[in-house]
Amino acid sequence: MDKNNKIPFDEDNYTHNINKNNERKLDRRGFMKTMVGAAGLFAVSTLPWGSIAATELMGLREKKYPKKEIIDVKKLKVGDAFEFAYPTDHDSALLVRLGENEFKAYQNACTHLRCPVFWEQSKSELVCPCHHGFFDVKTGSPTAGPPRRPLPEITIQVEAGKIVATGVKRYET
Amino acid sequence: MKKVLYIELENCIGCRSCLAACTQCGGHEQRNRNYVIDVNPFVDRQTMPMMCLHCENPPCARSCPVQAIQVHETGAVLSAMTEKCLGCQNCTIACPYGIPKFDVEQNLMYKCDLCIDRTKDGIPPMCASVCPTNTLQWVTEEELAVKKSQFRLNNGMMASMEDPYLENKTNVHVSLPGILEGKEKLF
């Protein structure tokens, strides 16, 4: 009777546990389920980024800017620049008349260390005097010097002989 | 108070109430997990219930490669855990009584778990609760001791009389028919 009624080897609950009370709480399957669950949780938690990206890309969160009169077209000669403040009184900006009907306006705080950028008419360049940063007047993007980001462009339009600022373009890398 | 299943083989009339009751037990999913077999087919009409005897050292659980068959603290050998069982049917081969059944569709073994949801709280298993002839009894250890003093309970002779080595100690206790024990039983 002894022969077949013996437990063949010392059991531990890693290799051969048939005792229900000895069942490990976190076994291999439990661990895998936990990992998959955690991965799922992380996956779900990234979903809000999608809606944020959607609202940004579809322009639902575009800022509203007040219109602001800058200057009479007649007062600004071709090739000249005019300094103003937009959208608030503390954001200094620069309007450049490039041609008869060609105007460009940028917020003129240099994107390097926020020195005021001025218009160098002889070289047709926007210049930051602090560290010799240069910006292309057509696009606002830096051409030389320390700044790496373009100047924020201000949209303008001409209404009844006056130049009016209507908004600031989104910053895009 | 610990109670055990006690089988008085001689009382069986083959009504198969135990099978019907087994299908109704919660968690059994309408499938019965015990048998009623003819002892001597075509010779006499004696039948006997063939229950899982819930071995203390269960070959089904020992042979399971993934430990899907577990032994409850009450001694009941449970049905295969569905999340572990891989359907290798080792238990079906290992059991000397042929108790574990195999569901081919689910690729899953299932066997008597002594209605563990009931018996762990002291409620008799479904088969014992419906048996009209007291073939299956749910008795306390004291009652079992009385019965043991009256009759010789010998699990070793139940399935294989020639080879007692096949058998284990079991948690279900079987009283052999009186004709095998050489006495008349009056229940």
* CA nearest to A145, candidates A128, A161, A160: A128
Interface of A with B (CB under 8 A): 1, 3-8, 16-21, 23, 29
Whole-model pTM: value is 0.57
- How many Cα atoms are found within 13 Å in the side-chain-facing hemisphere of B76? 24
Q: How sure is the predictor about A28, in pLDDT bands with cuts at 50, 70 and 90?
A: confident
DSSP for A113-170, written as a single string: T-PBPEEETTTTEEEETTTTEEE-TTT--EEESS--SPPPEEEEEEETTEEEEEEEPP
The alpha-helical segments, DSSP class H, found in B69-172 are 90-94, 116-119, 126-130, 141-150
Q: Return the number of CB contacts < 8 Å for A and B.
A: 34
Q: What residues in chain B have per-residue pLDDT under 70?
A: 151-168, 177-187
- Please tell me the distance from the alpha carbon of residue B105 to that of residue A92, in angstroms, as a whole number: 78
**What does the alpha-carbon distance between residue B24 and residue B27 come to, in Å, rounded to a whole number?**
9
Q: Which of B58, B73, B168 sits opposite A20 (nearest CB)?
A: B73
pLDDT in tens, A126-170: 999 999 999 999 999 999 999 999 999 999 999 989 999 999 988
Closest CB to A7 among B57, B64, B83: B57
Residue of A nearest to B69 (CA): A18
Query: Cβ contact (<8 Å) for A4 and B83?
Result: no
B111 and B80 in contact (C-beta within 8 Å)?
A: yes
Query: Which amino acid is located at B90 in the chain?
Result: N
How far, in Å, CA of B167 to CA of B155, rounded? 7
What's the pLDDT tens digit per position in A55-73? Answer: 888 877 778 889 999 999 9
Do the beta carbons of residue B116 and residue B126 sit within 8 Å?
no
pLDDT, residue B161, reads 39
Interchain proximity B64–A19, CB inside 8 Å: no
Indicate yes or no: CB of B57 within 8 angstroms of CB of A5: yes
Q: Is B166 at the interface with chain A, CB within 8 A?
A: yes
Residues B18-62 have pLDDT tens digits of 999 999 998 888 888 999 999 888 988 889 898 898 988 888 998
Beta-carbon contacts of residue A158 (< 8 Å; ≥ 6 apart): A73, A101, A103, A164
CB-CB neighbors (< 8 A) of A5 in chain B: 57, 168-169
d(CA A135, CA A120): 10
CA–CA separation, B72 and B79 (whole Å): 10
